[in-house]
């Protein structure tokens, strides 16, 4: 089978990632490019069965023939690392492209070793490129600023905000609470502003009652909170989870909310496209083995360190009809550079054309 994979190339472009979300999902939705179909392979049999109901060309590592299909492709696009990456490139002559799952919010050079193997690393913008070069001393000449394809879809969802809210049965202003991955960091988890403190949810429930608004909860995929918190959310009037059964994209909560509350999640960079305000909680960093890049370490971001401060800021922004803060408007201009807020998928596909 390995011999066949090496000798017989198919007309597929393989997609890899922890989940079929974000930039990777944008390619599978495109279905094909240049006469080559996109195919996605998952390590989860459960995800394979679920995704196969919505998309064509879904593969699973449980099947050797599916692995063969990936190894027979000419190109692999991945949102994370690739197992046996160097061997795959050496023996199967597959070109590999990295389409990030998040803008580089740390400046730790050692974790960039995987990116050095890719033929191209597709970046959010030149802003991110400068982080690689200036903060991480990255010297490999494979950095290409294309923009993130998921921003294209997010922009379209924002335009249809009212229709989506109607579809979800939401008839009020919406706050989105999206904290970072806790990485099982006890210092972070025990902080009073972390997603593991039920008092935070009581604050959000009460302010929702006061201002007649709802709070959507969007945890990181690896975050698991106590059952008491889940029951509190289930029994609340103003807190809710995103209804995934409506067959809407994973990024939908970003498009229908009027205010984002986060801490160290780089999802805020995507959210800037909505031109709505953001509040940053002053929690400890859950991922503390590396420093933060200028995504967070800049003059535009200020942080809230108390429940009282959070309540005050929500009231102020509600009174101002959730207008984006001027410092964050400038930060958006710095990151998006007036260019990378649209046609990002198109730029990525053009990079493929150069390599097919």
Between 184 and 109, name the one with better pLDDT: 184
Residues 186 and 139 placed together within one structural domain of the fold: no
Residues 71 and 9 placed together within one structural domain of the fold: yes
Least confident of 25-39, 42-56, 68-82, 240-254: 240-254
Residues 93 and 233 placed together within one structural domain of the fold: no
Mean pLDDT of 335-344: 95
Residues 332 and 347 placed together within one structural domain of the fold: no
**pLDDT of 6 above 70:** no
Q: What is the mean pLDDT of the chain?
A: 93
Residues 131 and 166 placed together within one structural domain of the fold: no
Question: Which pTM does this prediction carry?
Answer: 0.93
Handedness of CA 310, 268, 250, 153 (dihedral sign): positive
Please report, rounded to a whole number, the percentage of residues in the chain having pLDDT higher than 90.
Answer: 82
Residues 6 and 92 placed together within one structural domain of the fold: yes
Query: In this structure, are residues 142 and 116 in contact, taking their beta carbons and an 8 Å threshold?
Result: yes
Residues 176 and 82 placed together within one structural domain of the fold: no
Residues 51 and 184 placed together within one structural domain of the fold: no
Give the domain range for residue 231: 153-336
140 has which bridge partners? none
The whole-angstrom separation of Cα 52 and Cα 340 is 31
Which domain CATH number covers 164?
3.40.50.2000
- What are 161-205's pLDDT values in tens digits? 999 999 999 999 999 999 999 999 999 999 999 999 999 999 999
Quote the tokens at residue 343.
Answer: 């046609």
- What are 194-225's pLDDT values in tens digits? 999 999 999 999 999 999 999 999 998 889 99
Q: Please state the domain count of the chain.
A: 2
The DSSP letter of residue 106 is: B
Which domain CATH number covers 55?
3.40.50.11820
Strand pairing class (36-42; 12-16): parallel
Longest dimension (CA), the chain: 66
Residues 185 and 216 placed together within one structural domain of the fold: yes
pLDDT class of 7 with cuts at 50, 70, 90: low
Residues 274 and 349 placed together within one structural domain of the fold: no
Please report, rounded to a whole number, the percentage of residues in the chain having pLDDT higher than 70.
Answer: 96
Q: Which of 2-6, 148-152, 249-253 has the highest mean pLDDT?
A: 148-152
Residues 112 and 36 placed together within one structural domain of the fold: yes
- Report H helices in the chain: 2-7, 22-30, 45-51, 64-71, 85-92, 126-130, 149-159, 161-168, 186-189, 198-211, 227-235, 252-256, 267-271, 307-319, 326-336, 344-353
pLDDT class of 289 with cuts at 50, 70, 90: low
Residues 129 and 162 placed together within one structural domain of the fold: no
């Amino acid at each position: 089978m390995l011999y066949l994979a090496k000798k017989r190339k198919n007309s597929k472009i393989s997609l890899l990632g922890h989940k079929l979300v974000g930039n990777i999902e944008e390619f599978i939705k495109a279905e094909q490019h240049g006469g080559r179909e996109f195919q996605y392979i998952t390590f989860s049999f459960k995800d394979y069965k679920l995704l196969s109901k919505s998309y064509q060309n879904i593969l699973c590592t449980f099947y050797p023939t599916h692995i063969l299909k990936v190894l027979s492709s000419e190109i692999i696009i991945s949102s994370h690392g690739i197992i046996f990456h160097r061997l795959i490139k050496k023996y199967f002559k597959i070109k590999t492209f990295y389409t990030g799952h998040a803008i580089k919010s740390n400046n730790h050079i050692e974790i960039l070793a995987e990116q050095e193997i890719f033929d191209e690393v597709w970046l959010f913008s030149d802003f991110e490129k400068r982080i690689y070069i200036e903060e991480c001393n990255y010297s490999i000449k494979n950095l290409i600023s294309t923009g993130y394809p998921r921003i294209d879809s997010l922009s379209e969802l924002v335009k249809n905000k009212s229709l989506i809210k109607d579809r979800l049965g939401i008839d009020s202003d919406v706050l989105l609470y999206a904290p970072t991955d806790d990485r099982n960091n006890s210092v972070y988890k025990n902080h009073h502003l972390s997603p593991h403190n039920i008092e935070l949810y009581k604050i959000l429930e009460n302010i929702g009652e006061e201002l007649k608004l709802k709070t959507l909860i969007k945890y990181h995929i690896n975050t698991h909170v106590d059952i008491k918190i889940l029951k509190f959310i289930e029994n609340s009037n103003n807190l809710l989870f995103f209804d995934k059964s409506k067959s809407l994209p994973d990024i939908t909560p970003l498009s229908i909310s009027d205010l984002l509350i986060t801490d160290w999640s780089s999802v805020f960079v995507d959210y800037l496209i909505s031109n709505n305000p953001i509040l940053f909680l002053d929690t400890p960093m859950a991922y503390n083995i590396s420093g933060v890049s200028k995504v967070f370490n800049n003059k535009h971001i200020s942080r809230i360190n108390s429940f009282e401060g959070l309540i005050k800021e929500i009231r102020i922004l509600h009174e101002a009809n959730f207008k984006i803060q001027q410092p964050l408007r400038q930060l958006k201009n710095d990151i998006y550079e007036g260019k990378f807020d649209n046609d990002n998928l198109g730029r990525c596909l053009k990079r493929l054309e150069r390599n097919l």
